[in-house]
Structure 1
Amino acid sequence: MGLEGYELFTMNRVNKKGGGVALYVDKVLKCNLIECMSSIIDDVMECVTIEIHVEKASNIIISCIYRTPGSCLETFNEKLAAMFSNLNDKKVQIICGDFNIDLLNPNGHQKTTDFISTMYSNCLFPVIIKPSRITIDTATLIDYIFTNKIDHEIVGGLLITDISDHLPVFAIFQNYFGIKTKKKNQTFDMIGHRTTRAIAALQVDLKEHNWYEVFANEDSSSAYDAFLSAIILLYEKHCPLMKITRKHHRSNKPWITKGIEDACKKKNNLYKIFIKQRTKDAEIKYKLYKNRLVNIIRTSKKEYYHTLLEQNRSNTQETWRILNSIIKKGSKNKNYPDYFKKDKDIVLDKTKDIANEFNDFFVNVGFNLAKEIPESRNNNDLNKHITQNVSSMFIGAVTHREIINIVKTFKNKKSTDCFGIDMKLVKSIIEYIVQPFAYICNLSFRTGVFPSQMK
């Protein structure tokens, strides 16, 4: 499964279904798969290893390992020791995964002690020191993160969640890439403060405005600039910008109501209580509530789509769109190249250079194609094959009523231009600005010049 903005590295089982190991790496980072350290050994282990290239710092080797439960621990230790023998001590090493070896109770088990010795002998030390799998009777540490970067500030821990019977583990290497973490500010939008009184005042000012600067201009671009400037000036006067905080919307799962969200929080709290108390009563209470919540979510989802399909039963196109959103697991991951080749030898990997090449191609494509057309030896021969059309076509001037009728057919969409003006506002003021706008349209037809800001 792909994640937007991340590159996926996997090693999948060949002779068995399911399983496998995977690493997601931010596409901002340059990395590659280390094939000699990535393999599947049936009934023993699965491993995928990558190397992240870091400028002005040591490269990072990351291995994700899964050891099959009950497999020969001696064989696993031998394979692990052979893999670590290829590592460069100067590089940062991070080994993570599900090893199915309990590090909390190593005493009395020689193979577990041998595993710990293998890790320590390669200067790999654990980041996670608390149990990652907790039941009523047991608490074991079988999911680890090892690293040789012990001189760096590392924050490691467990996430308390019931998405799996193993608690997810994490490790954060503070500022290793030299990028300081910025505090996230509250997200907000700047929109015009529109009220019925403000729009009415805007209409009055537009009606009384002197459009001389527009009508006196014989250049369509300059006339439109003056026209737009006047509208923006009056709009900002009556509808000044105000800060609106964005609210969290559940658009991706609209069947998850506020009540279900509160129930999910309660379910998570019950799971935390079970993890702390580890009693049979706490486990039963958590599981009963969880099962009930799962049924409620399924019912809510079913009712949501049933209502949605009923509302659009006469709209075939919308019905198929809804069905596709249910059936399809998600859009296919699109991998676009991060570089381009020019003239087969020159590699362009900078965004600005790539954009300039695209611009140069599309600007000159017509001219370059025209140069390849061979010139006719005798132009008079072409006239023999051209049928003269006795009729002519004329374009009449744009009228005020024509513009108003066209504008009224547009939908009241919330999308705005760079000035914060949407179609709903345009429809409310079109009758007061139609005269100068009609002049600009007819001026554009007459001069053959389309206003630059309308492109």
Structure 2
Amino acid sequence: MCSCLQGYDLIGITEMWWNSSYDWSVGMEGYRLFMMDKQGTQGGGITFCINDQLECMELCLEIDEELTESLWVRIKGSTGTGDIIVGVCYRPPDQGDRADEALYRQTGAESHSEALVLMGDFNHPDICYTDNTAGHKQSRRFLECVNDNFLLQVIEEPMRRGAMLDLVLTNKEGLVGNVKLKGSLGCSDHEMVEFKILRAVRRAHSKLTALDFRRADFALFRDLLGRVPWDKADNVCLQPRKSTVSWAASKEA
């Protein structure tokens, strides 16, 4: 309902807490669903819901994908602009160094794209982004990844009990704007983050072809139909034969 009212093109959600028994209920009309359920553990799970009018495809990075909870999607840019890579990530608070490094390799690979937006819950509450400092080793390593890949962190306000856990990172200044906190959704103790990607994307065009009946040759149709012999008593065709009706024109829907 929230997505319908606001008209969001892209929705990233972390900690979905679902399994395959809920697959029937997670889709939304008008959106293409990309999802990842963390197998073998309780909790976690991430998803992208992307307006089905946008040309997009999920990326297979082939970089330690089994270790991380992350999804990456390429959205086709409009004419004259490059594509946009969007990612969503959930990093559990107890995630180990091996999984952290796998996520940093993925982030480093995608940071070389022309336009990247990475959102998610990274669970580093001890980082101060104003001073670029952190208290713990893992948080300092995360800051190194952000700085080494020249990423900008655009969230300025904490959204969970005074901690800044949910972040939006981008590799291009001015790509993300109008960042707002929109309150919590349902029973979540995190606030929703709303922002705009300030770059045009390509809308998908329907490939269906619709006939333009207003331009049809109905005189030819009646003439061909009149040549078929009928039994007027039983109203059946006695000698059906093949005929071809040529339509004058068609147009793309």
**TM-score, normalization: structure 2?**
0.65
Q: Secondary structure at the match of 1:170?
A: strand
Of residues 150, 155, 159, the one that matches 1:128 is 155
Task: Say which of 59, 62, 85 aligns to 1:61.
Answer: 85
2:28 is aligned to 3
Task: After TM superposition, give the deviation of residue 162 of structure 1 in Å.
Answer: 5.7
How many pairs does the alignment contain?
198
- Taking the aligned partners of 1:141 and 1:25, their CA distance within structure 2 comes to 25
- Identify unmatched segments of 5+ residues in structure 1: 180-336, 340-348, 388-455
Question: How far, CA to CA, are the matches of 2:123 and 2:166 in structure 1?
Answer: 7
- Three-state SS of the structure 1 residue aligned to 2:110 is coil
> Shift of residue 13 of structure 1?
2.6
Call closer, same or farther: CA 1:152–1:67 in 2, change over 3 Å. Answer: closer
State whether structure 2 residue 99 is matched by structure 1 residue 76.
Answer: yes
Amino acid at match of 1:14: Q
1:51 and 2:74 matched: yes
State whether structure 2 residue 140 is matched by structure 1 residue 113. Answer: yes
Is 2:193 aligned against 1:169? yes
- Give a deviation string over 1:422-447, Cα, whole Å, max 9, x none: xxxxxxxxxxxxxxxxxxxxxxxxxx
Q: What is the CA distance between 1:152 and its match in structure 2? A: 4.2
Q: What amino acid does structure 2 have at the position aligned with 1:71? A: Q
Check 1:40–1:162 CA distance in 2 against 1; reply closer, same or farther (3 A cut).
same
Distance 1:10 1:150 in 2: 28
Change (3 A) 1:82 1:104: closer
The match for 1:21 is: 46
Distance 1:178 1:66, change over 3 A: closer
Distance in 1 between the 2:225 and 2:38 partners?
56
Q: Secondary structure at the match of 2:147?
A: helix
Q: What do the CA deviations read for 1:192-236 (whole angstroms, capped 9, x no partner)?
A: xxxxxxxxxxxxxxxxxxxxxxxxxxxxxxxxxxxxxxxxxxxxx
What is the alpha-carbon distance in structure 2 between the residues aligned to residue 15 and residue 153 of structure 1? 35
Structure 2 CA distance for aligned equivalents of residues 93 and 14 of structure 1: 27
Identity across aligned pairs (percent)? 23
Matched, 1:97 2:120: yes
User: SS of 1:133's equivalent?
Assistant: coil
Equivalent residues of 1:103, 1:142 under 8 A apart:
no
Shift of 1:370: 7.2
Residue type of the alignment partner of 2:159: S
Q: Secondary structure at the match of 1:47?
A: strand
In 1, Cα distance between equivalents of 2:60 and 2:169: 21
Q: Distance in 2 between matches of 1:177 and 1:37?
A: 28
The 8 Å contact of residues 127 and 145 in structure 1, kept in 2 or not, is answered as yes
* Aligned twin of 1:394: none
- What whole-Å deviation, never above 9, does each CA across 1:253-303 have from its counterpart, x for those lacking one? xxxxxxxxxxxxxxxxxxxxxxxxxxxxxxxxxxxxxxxxxxxxxxxxxxx
Distance 1:120 1:22, change over 3 A: same
Runs of at least 5 residues in structure 2 that lack an aligned partner in the other structure: 1-25, 235-253
| Paired residues of 1:7 and 1:27 also in contact (CA < 8 A) | yes
Farther-moved stretch of structure 1 (10-19 vs 116-125): 10-19
CA distance in 2, matches of 1:67, 1:153: 22
Distance in 2 separating the partners of 1:118 and 1:26 = 31
Q: TM-score when scaled to structure 1?
A: 0.38
Q: Distance in 1 between matches of 2:42 and 2:138?
A: 29
Match 1:356 to one of 211, 235, 238: 211
Q: Name the structure 2 match of 1:143.
A: 166
User: What CA distance in whole angstroms lies between the structure 2 residues aligned with 1:360 and 1:48?
Assistant: 48
Deviation readout 1:330-351 (Å, 9 max, x if unpaired): xxxxxxx965xxxxxxxxx2x6
Does structure 2 conserve the Cα–Cα contact (< 8 Å) formed by 1:37 and 1:49?
no
Could you list the per-position Cα deviations for residues 81-112 of structure 1 after superposition, in whole angstroms to 9, with x for gaps in the alignment?
A: 22134326242111111111125455331220
Distance 2:201 2:61 in 1: 30
Q: CA deviation at 1:49?
A: 0.7
Task: Judge conservation of contact 1:11–1:40 (CA < 8 Å) in 2.
Answer: no
* Residues 126 and 145, structure 1, Cα contact 8 Å, conserved in 2: yes
Contact 2:85 2:113 in 1 (8 A): no
Output the aligned Cα RMSD: 3.6
Once residues 137 and 111 of structure 2 are traced to their aligned partners in structure 1, the CA distance between those partners, rounded to angstroms, is 28
Q: Contact 2:126–2:134 (CA<8 Å) still a contact in 1? A: no
Tell whether the 8 Å contact from 1:127 to 1:171 is kept in structure 2 after alignment: no
Whole-angstrom CA distance in 2 between matches of 1:95 and 1:355: 40
Q: Deviations over 1:137-157 (max 9, x none)?
A: xx2111111001214462223
